[in-house]
Amino acid sequence: MYRKLNEECGVFGVFSPKTENLAEPVYRALFALQHRGQASCGIVVNDRGVFSQYKDVGLVPDVFNRQILDSLGDGNIALGHVKYASKSNLERSEAQPLVVKHVKGPMAISLNGVLVNGAELREGYELNGAIFHTACNTEIISYAITNHRLSQPSIERAIEQAMYDLKGSYSMLVMSATKLIAVRDPLGFHPLCMGRTEDGTVCFASESCALVGVGAKFERDILPGEIVVVSADGVESIKTHCGQKTGMCVFEYVYFARPDSVIEGCSVHKARCRAGEFLWKEHPCEADVVIGVPDSGLDAALGLSLASGIPYGIGFIKNKYIGRTFIQPTQAQRSDAVRIKLNVISETVKDKRVVLVDDSIVRGTTCARIVRQLKEAGAKEVHMRLSSPPFMNPCYFGTDIDSRDKLIACKMSLEEIAEYLNVDSLGYLSVESVKKLAPEANLDFCVGCFTGEYPIEVPEEIKKDKFCRKIGETDAQTLNKELEIS
Amino acid sequence: MYRKLNEECGVFGVFSPKTENLAEPVYRALFALQHRGQASCGIVVNDRGVFSQYKDVGLVPDVFNRQILDSLGDGNIALGHVKYASKSNLERSEAQPLVVKHVKGPMAISLNGVLVNGAELREGYELNGAIFHTACNTEIISYAITNHRLSQPSIERAIEQAMYDLKGSYSMLVMSATKLIAVRDPLGFHPLCMGRTEDGTVCFASESCALVGVGAKFERDILPGEIVVVSADGVESIKTHCGQKTGMCVFEYVYFARPDSVIEGCSVHKARCRAGEFLWKEHPCEADVVIGVPDSGLDAALGLSLASGIPYGIGFIKNKYIGRTFIQPTQAQRSDAVRIKLNVISETVKDKRVVLVDDSIVRGTTCARIVRQLKEAGAKEVHMRLSSPPFMNPCYFGTDIDSRDKLIACKMSLEEIAEYLNVDSLGYLSVESVKKLAPEANLDFCVGCFTGEYPIEVPEEIKKDKFCRKIGETDAQTLNKELEIS
Amino acid sequence: MYRKLNEECGVFGVFSPKTENLAEPVYRALFALQHRGQASCGIVVNDRGVFSQYKDVGLVPDVFNRQILDSLGDGNIALGHVKYASKSNLERSEAQPLVVKHVKGPMAISLNGVLVNGAELREGYELNGAIFHTACNTEIISYAITNHRLSQPSIERAIEQAMYDLKGSYSMLVMSATKLIAVRDPLGFHPLCMGRTEDGTVCFASESCALVGVGAKFERDILPGEIVVVSADGVESIKTHCGQKTGMCVFEYVYFARPDSVIEGCSVHKARCRAGEFLWKEHPCEADVVIGVPDSGLDAALGLSLASGIPYGIGFIKNKYIGRTFIQPTQAQRSDAVRIKLNVISETVKDKRVVLVDDSIVRGTTCARIVRQLKEAGAKEVHMRLSSPPFMNPCYFGTDIDSRDKLIACKMSLEEIAEYLNVDSLGYLSVESVKKLAPEANLDFCVGCFTGEYPIEVPEEIKKDKFCRKIGETDAQTLNKELEIS
Amino acid sequence: MYRKLNEECGVFGVFSPKTENLAEPVYRALFALQHRGQASCGIVVNDRGVFSQYKDVGLVPDVFNRQILDSLGDGNIALGHVKYASKSNLERSEAQPLVVKHVKGPMAISLNGVLVNGAELREGYELNGAIFHTACNTEIISYAITNHRLSQPSIERAIEQAMYDLKGSYSMLVMSATKLIAVRDPLGFHPLCMGRTEDGTVCFASESCALVGVGAKFERDILPGEIVVVSADGVESIKTHCGQKTGMCVFEYVYFARPDSVIEGCSVHKARCRAGEFLWKEHPCEADVVIGVPDSGLDAALGLSLASGIPYGIGFIKNKYIGRTFIQPTQAQRSDAVRIKLNVISETVKDKRVVLVDDSIVRGTTCARIVRQLKEAGAKEVHMRLSSPPFMNPCYFGTDIDSRDKLIACKMSLEEIAEYLNVDSLGYLSVESVKKLAPEANLDFCVGCFTGEYPIEVPEEIKKDKFCRKIGETDAQTLNKELEIS
């Protein structure tokens, strides 16, 4: 619910010193990363070069059961993936990890990212006889690696060479018969970290929160551009592509990542509290209580409360039994939909001036409904605060932002939005402040969706395609489905 | 997760002035009441005397789908029920509403409550030739009503007479071919309220939060002892049994009810905040942050924070994709189980003196694990506060409390508990304070589980039975399952 | 496919000298009896008075799986049931065995039969305060037994007394805490037999074919009117109601029972072969090959071939993967439906004069399609032979015959039927011959559906009800479904 | 049940002059071909170049439902496939049709066959950078076609060239954006035929029986080596590879194909009847009745009866509700397994000398059980006749014969087999006769599994591999599963 933007994916990989049941820890890790992708998921277990896989559309606890986990058998390396929903990847055959066999043996890939030169690369491979089974970037990358593998002495060296071909964002894990390899694109768009258990098992995960469930301790973030190879010989780092300009997606802090994750040395919870502080400084107001929209607005609301001295309140109850099979009311009753998931605690807001904090606004319809609920519950005033700047531009690196004609910030002025939402004041976080959310992180941020300036050149035909894209019926359904499951 | 106590049930009924799809609003209402029972659920739709029903074990969104809702057809009266899990009622045949046919036509009953003289009544009916299909009190009540119905002019008069026979707690809804009847026992153990939509549809629900999802406005609570009859002739109230001594379960405020519900004029959220205030007054301490255990400890934590001036913090992230099918780790990895569902935000507690607020402790094992997580995350001190007194006695009226030999408060002194939990201080709310949580409510409370004094006489054989009861393997499994789904 | 008539049910019960897994043999026995009922099924296992049950709509292999069978636990007595589909019993709550608790303990009943005085009995019980959960006769019988149980020293004596109240057909099994009891109505409408394994386990089954799968040897048929009681004390027979006029349903031999069953000393296969012989004598013709409609026409076709000397041929291939989930073609393509299930082997019939044997005709539509297939495949002539007389009357004892306005034999003359079916000659078995199909059986037959004369008086209001009954949309759907699953 | 040998697959394709719902006719055709493969199935619908697919493990009626068929949408070309079970292809990702995208657009392939030079071809493609997603020959063929496609003007010309590379058996259908192409290997190992409906829709199917269900008339068999191209321009035949030596699998007539199919001008039913005649001539005996083992032994039994004058009998009843979910008895009760599926009609065999006809014997265990059942039912003598010669050699072209150490004919002499089976005489059809089963067919037969002489050279390493292959646990399970579903 209230997922307005879609993350590319979550990845997890594990390399154990001994052969054991690895499907179970990967399952738990994927469950911890479920917020990064709810469309499909998969696990591949590697038992001395023999890969067993299971993938399907659906949430992790719905796709896997004890029997399926057991059927994957034991192994010493394993890979997992959760994928977000878009029109083109709802098919089971598009689920990851992608498993292929090539001249040097089997390979599995879990990818979080998007190539900006994917179409171009694909055409080249096809003209050389390549066959594609999917529409996903992962298969393109698998050809990029394989093509270099024919002339390189090892898979990591093939990856090193392939990185010269790949343009875009890619935090990915590659599993060969004997190695687990973590790769992060030079700009470091998306996070990727490494952990280790007491018995020497090495894990890689999109976020540190996935390490906890498998009993691993966070060790470090993978550097932008780094290749980390784990094999029986230990852990090796290849830094050929490191040290370039970086541009991590700032929205990981604002919305995507889980608050208990620590990315690039900065607690996500802390970054969001900071957003609340900045918001207060930029947009102060008189009020009696500060409340956040569950779940992503809560931390910033607390930060704003602490900074302002206005008491923090629990303004909403979210139904904790929400699952993806909840039956939508028929059209006539649709206006009730939001009330099934989120209810106002009248006691908190009645006769009060309320500061309402959320992370962002996409189309504004859900937000308007929430404000109406608050007013119906007796709120005297509602002051809306958003912990990010307005969305004005597409993202080419993994965030599935609506087309411009759907974005409220592209269609209305600040005053018009405030009027549409029926709020008494409206304040977005400034671009300047959003860049300062994670001072602990030692890299630059991509704020292209706010400013239109991207850290890497985007081909013109992709730009055009994105700009013209209309949301079809199916996308809308996907979006609705998406609303259901979070 | 962290459901230590089980509520008897949630009930919902609707009477519409016209024939329409009623399964859908009942479905939504049951979803809002899901916290009152996760074992089984059911809906019965009444189309001019023809009852269509569907019941099964499982959560509301898992049991019902569009096809099943549609198969129930249209009607002008409907009844729903959610039921909690205990060993004896996990069978599908024990799910409610109970539908029976008797000499005067069909009847359906949804019950929240427990009779203390159930066994005695049942034996009497059996000696007169009665046959029982279930082990539930609802069937006993159906005989009580039917027996009087043979000589009474109407079903409501039969109910009025039957109430002289029934001893115990019963907030229930009875549907006949043409009427919907709400009944609350004279002591008013469990809540039951009435709402109305703009088009004149009348609803009854265990809690007011269920009214919101169906577009109804709260109208009033059913009085202890009252019978409210809705028919084509309007709404009629029978108060023969009203005005006696009352004894509402105080744990409805502490734990069972949803914070956005208002019961007997008192907001549940407010009552819990008050518990936090009282806790601060009774057990002050030096600390840097106050955090609550999600979800039931959050309100009291906020109350304690406001009363003490110690900042409120968000201490935990609960995985929002938890469903009942989550695969348990195998024994070797079981200690990881709690970490899958609940993770500490280190940023909040590191190097801090933490006040940890929860509603109650049953066995103490989960609580001890949570404290350990906090200390591992760097908490310097943990001061545990419970928003209710220690459980020392069984409940005979619907709350499924563990047997005494499992209750930590029956086995250990306060100091021993603190040591077991590894907390730096431990404070329970006093019995005196717990009685003051809802001063707005115009009735007395039952605090028998804390004091052993009950508002109604309990037969000795029931007492003995409860005291001796040991938790068998199956109950433990049930409990585990229960942990999964909340 | 081609199930034109519906049998009431199949019953199975087992009493073992030791406690063991009984769900599995009952499962296998029900699977062998599946042809007697495809709508719902159930198993109840009795472990020293504690009954565990599982029932649902669907075929035996679809309803039960390993987990469910295991969940029923061990026991020393068990009961099973398969039920046919009619409009009123498609609900899960109507599935049998019926399990109830009454003053003398638990009781489960599996019934094959129909009471003609059911409505009258029910009304009487209701006026004494009885409550009904189902619409089935089994619950009426449970009250009949319980009512007498209050004054009788044992359940078998209560059954003995109840039999004075019950009018109609009932081959049934009753399980108490310690006994398994087989009961057959005095007229012996439906079969019921007893078997025994080498280790002393006693079984009762609707047909002897169910004994094979559980390793039991056929011992004897239960006599019309007999009560057989199995307990730890051994096997006891009560013959108070034996020795009266009998009237077994002759259609058990013609169609219902499985050819490998032996009923009342007569092989069903043999009886059907005899039907073929009689048909040849009554309706000889010139032809080149005799073929039967699978599966129920095959035996009579073989009998006719042997009697006539006309070669037997394999005329049809039935798709062996037919299951109940096969998707019906949409309306435009519906004429293809029969070809999916049954295909002609052209080689057998091309340029030949064909004798086509089936057991009976109800509406004639399917039969007409089959004849058309044969002609399209090149059959020169088709001579239709039916191994039973024309259906002209309703059945009140368990066979679900269409209403008269649907029965082709009630609407058309023999010549008109032949023309409608497009056959070159048409011959039904005579009523005289059908009575001689099983000379080995030492009892009389009911041929009421052919003659309108029944062995027991049928109340006028039931007659009227049956006569006027129109087949509604739902019945038609049921029929279609029924076609699917056989 | 009693499937001793596994066929490679069944294929079906349809090209319609207009865009319409094609998933449904393909579904019906696959259902008719289900006997050729029960492990997995799939359908691909082509709507002007956009391919929609659905594939999964399981039987056709279990995998597909109305919703899935509808989700495939309309189209004017469609392809289907059913696949047999072996250890390596039970994964969902191995199901066909295989759908790939290459430089010239999308392509889907359904294959019935096995390449003997598959490993060699694959290695070559991999050394050129190819990536493989599956272990199946179909993917190798897709590369063979694609590689030539880069230099050929059309897909049919690419196929024509690719056929020079492919060695082995392949009856296959290829779908491009605009064409449906049927291809049969030059030896014509497996059947492939063409049909047409009145409205001009062209169909291709492994067997003619699949045409009936979709309303198409058989037109002709595809020639060995022929390529038939259907497009908007009509039907074109490419015969470059025709006219070579042929070697059709004779076991198609003996066992694989459905009796109502006509292959190469010869009715399968007729061929089997002939086998019965030949058997009688080669192995006459004195007997009272001839019975066949359902279903594949029935036709030969009838042929033997007609030739010998010994009456034909119905000896067995096969449970018609057998589905793949039937729960296996636990080990202790396993000997009962065969009795659940197949029961003897004692009446037919008691006190008689029985000729028992089956198509073949693999390991002999099931056969021995059947003979035991007959003797227990009172058969005085059992004379076993097999309508094919003994299996002594592996098959490299699609039939999954057990390894030599499992084949009873490789381990025992004729006398020893007779003794093991406990039959009074035993007769196999001679190799000479088996070659004469289908004189109408204008091609030669492969009888390599009987003689060890194959119509095409088999690489030594493949021979070695087959010879050494041991049946592992998993294969045995597969076999058991296979037994269940037929």
* Separation of alpha carbons B428 and B407, rounded Å: 15
φ, ψ at B363 (rounded to 5°): -95, -25
- Do B236 and B306 lie in one domain? The reply is no
Range from B329-333, C458-462, D353-357 carrying the lowest mean pLDDT: B329-333
Which of D68, D90, D99, D133 is the best substitution to test chain A (most A C-beta atoms within 10 A)?
A: D133
CB A132, CB A126: distance < 8 Å: yes
* Separation of alpha carbons A362 and C25, rounded Å: 61
pLDDT at A85: 67
- Output the CA angle D26-D27-D30, nearest 5 degrees: 85
pLDDT at B460: 77
Average predicted confidence (pLDDT) for chain D: 88
B321 against D342, higher pLDDT: D342
User: Which residue in the set A24, A321, A330 is minimally distant from B31, CB to CB?
Assistant: A321
pLDDT at B103: 82
CB D112, CB D206: distance < 8 Å: yes
- Do C268 and C346 lie in one domain? The reply is yes
pLDDT digits (tens, 9 = 90+) for A14-37: 999 999 999 999 999 999 999 998
Three-class secondary structure of residue B224 per DSSP: coil
Specify the number of domains making up chain A. 2
Task: Report whether pLDDT(B161) > 90.
Answer: yes
Q: What band does A94 get if pLDDT is binned at 50, 70 and 90?
A: confident
Range from B461-475, C396-410, D74-88 carrying the lowest mean pLDDT: B461-475
pLDDT at B173: 98
Residue A256 belongs to some domain of the structure: no
Closest Cα to residue B35, out of A35, A293, A318?
Answer: A318
In which residue are the tokens 């089936």 written?
Answer: C358
Range from C454-463, D28-37, D120-129 carrying the lowest mean pLDDT: C454-463
* Separation of alpha carbons C152 and C124, rounded Å: 20
- Do C172 and C308 lie in one domain? The reply is no
* Separation of alpha carbons A293 and B244, rounded Å: 44
* Separation of alpha carbons A310 and A308, rounded Å: 5
User: Which residue in the set B103, B131, B139 is minimally distant from C143, CB to CB?
Assistant: B131
Q: What band does B464 get if pLDDT is binned at 50, 70 and 90?
A: low
pLDDT at A183: 98
Q: In the structure encoding, which two tokens stand for residue D417, read together?
A: 């087999």
Tell me which of C213, C246, C279 is where a domain ends.
C246
Average predicted confidence (pLDDT) for chain A: 88
pLDDT at C484: 32
CB A145, CB A93: distance < 8 Å: no
Residue B257 belongs to some domain of the structure: no
pLDDT digits (tens, 9 = 90+) for C198-241: 999 999 999 999 998 888 999 999 999 999 999 999 999 999 99
Question: What is the average pLDDT across C378-402?
Answer: 90
- Do D280 and D339 lie in one domain? The reply is yes
Question: What is the average pLDDT across D268-284?
Answer: 98
Question: What is the average pLDDT across D79-96?
Answer: 78
Question: What is the average pLDDT across A261-289?
Answer: 97
Neighboring chain C residues of D38 at a CB cutoff of 8 Å: 321
Boundaries of domain holding B362: 262-485
Could you tell me if residue A65 is left (phi over 0), alpha (psi between -120 and 50 degrees) or otherwise beta?
beta
Q: How far is B122 from chain A (nearest CA, A)?
A: 36
Q: How far is D212 from chain C (nearest CA, A)?
A: 7
Scored b (16 or more CB within 10 A) or e, C382-419 reads bbbbbbbbbbebbbbbbbbbbebebbbbeebeeeebbe
Q: What band does C93 get if pLDDT is binned at 50, 70 and 90?
A: confident
- Do A62 and A92 lie in one domain? The reply is yes
- Do D233 and D272 lie in one domain? The reply is no
* Separation of alpha carbons B76 and A229, rounded Å: 67
Residue D457 belongs to some domain of the structure: yes
Residue A162 belongs to some domain of the structure: yes
Question: What is the average pLDDT across B7-33?
Answer: 92
pLDDT at C157: 97
Residue B1 belongs to some domain of the structure: no
- Do D268 and D333 lie in one domain? The reply is yes
CB B156, CB B226: distance < 8 Å: no
Q: How far is D133 from chain C (nearest CA, A)?
A: 31
- Do D324 and D462 lie in one domain? The reply is yes
B420 against D103, higher pLDDT: B420
Consecutive H or E run containing A353: strand A353-358
User: Which residue in the set B133, B143, B147 is minimally distant from C100, CB to CB?
Assistant: B133
Residue B19 belongs to some domain of the structure: yes
Q: What band does C468 get if pLDDT is binned at 50, 70 and 90?
A: very low
- Do C241 and C375 lie in one domain? The reply is no
Task: Report whether pLDDT(A82) > 80.
Answer: yes
Give the contacts of B238 (CB within 8 A, at least 6 positions apart).
Answer: B156, B160, B226, B227, B228, B229
Tell me which of D246, D272, D299 is where a domain ends.
D246
Question: What is the average pLDDT across D101-115?
Answer: 93
pLDDT at D467: 39
pLDDT at B329: 61
Residue B252 belongs to some domain of the structure: no
Q: In the structure encoding, which two tokens stand for residue C131, read together?
A: 């409550």
Which of D288, D325, D335 is the best substitution to test chain C (most C C-beta atoms within 10 A)?
A: D325
Instruction: Tell me the C-alpha to C-alpha distance, in Å, between residue B101 and each of B98, C125, C139.
Output: 10, 12, 12
CB D397, CB D118: distance < 8 Å: no
Task: Report whether pLDDT(B484) > 70.
Answer: no
* Separation of alpha carbons D279 and D272, rounded Å: 10
CB A155, CB A179: distance < 8 Å: yes
pLDDT digits (tens, 9 = 90+) for C245-272: 999 999 999 999 999 999 999 999 999 9
Q: How far is A28 from chain B (nearest CA, A)?
A: 7
- Do A231 and A367 lie in one domain? The reply is no
- Counting as contact any 3 or more CB pairs under 8 A, the partners of D are A, C
Task: Report whether pLDDT(D473) > 70.
Answer: no
Q: What band does A340 get if pLDDT is binned at 50, 70 and 90?
A: confident
Q: Do C131 and B150 touch (CB under 8 A)?
A: no
Closest Cα to residue D336, out of C25, C17, C195?
Answer: C25
Closest residue of chain C to B145, computed from CA coordinates: C129
Task: Report whether pLDDT(A245) > 70.
Answer: yes
Chain B to chain C, count of Cβ pairs less than 8 Å apart? 75
Closest residue of chain D to A126, computed from CA coordinates: D103
Query: What percent of chain B lies above the pLDDT cut of 90?
Result: 74
Task: Report whether pLDDT(D353) > 70.
Answer: yes
pLDDT digits (tens, 9 = 90+) for C19-33: 999 999 999 999 999
Q: Do A103 and D127 touch (CB under 8 A)?
A: yes
Amino acid at C61: P
B265 against B472, higher pLDDT: B265
* Separation of alpha carbons B50 and B177, rounded Å: 7
Give the contacts of C239 (CB within 8 A, at least 6 positions apart).
Answer: C223, C225, C226, C227
D87 against D34, higher pLDDT: D34
Consecutive H or E run containing C107: strand C105-115
* Separation of alpha carbons D94 and D109, rounded Å: 12
The domain that contains A293 carries what CATH number?
3.40.50.2020
Consecutive H or E run containing B464: helix B460-468
Task: Report whether pLDDT(A420) > 90.
Answer: yes
Range from A394-403, C96-105, C185-194 carrying the lowest mean pLDDT: A394-403
Q: Do D143 and A129 touch (CB under 8 A)?
A: yes
Q: In the structure encoding, which two tokens stand for residue B207, read together?
A: 């809690």
* Separation of alpha carbons C264 and C261, rounded Å: 10
pLDDT at D480: 32
Task: Report whether pLDDT(D10) > 90.
Answer: yes
Q: How far is CA D270 from the centre of its chain?
A: 18
| DSSP-derived secondary structure for A278-326 | HHHHHS----SEEEE-TTTTHHHHHHHHHHH-PPB---EEE-TT--TTP
- Output the CA angle A120-A125-A128, nearest 5 degrees: 135
* Separation of alpha carbons B461 and B463, rounded Å: 5
Task: Report whether pLDDT(C477) > 50.
Answer: no
* Separation of alpha carbons A167 and A148, rounded Å: 16
- Do C336 and C441 lie in one domain? The reply is yes
Question: What is the average pLDDT across D168-188?
Answer: 97
pLDDT digits (tens, 9 = 90+) for D318-352: 888 775 456 666 655 545 566 778 899 999 999 99
- Do D213 and D307 lie in one domain? The reply is no
- Output the CA angle D311-D314-C253, nearest 5 degrees: 120
Task: Report whether pLDDT(B480) > 70.
Answer: no
The domain that contains B217 carries what CATH number?
3.60.20.10
Three-class secondary structure of residue A98 per DSSP: strand
CB C168, CB C140: distance < 8 Å: no
User: Which residue in the set C38, C312, C333 is minimally distant from D24, CB to CB?
Assistant: C333
pLDDT digits (tens, 9 = 90+) for C44-68: 999 999 999 999 988 898 899 888 9
- Which residues of C form the catalytic set? 9
Residue C1 belongs to some domain of the structure: no
pLDDT digits (tens, 9 = 90+) for B122-160: 999 999 999 999 888 999 999 999 999 999 999 999 999
Tell me which of C246, C276, C292 is where a domain ends.
C246
Q: What band does A458 get if pLDDT is binned at 50, 70 and 90?
A: confident
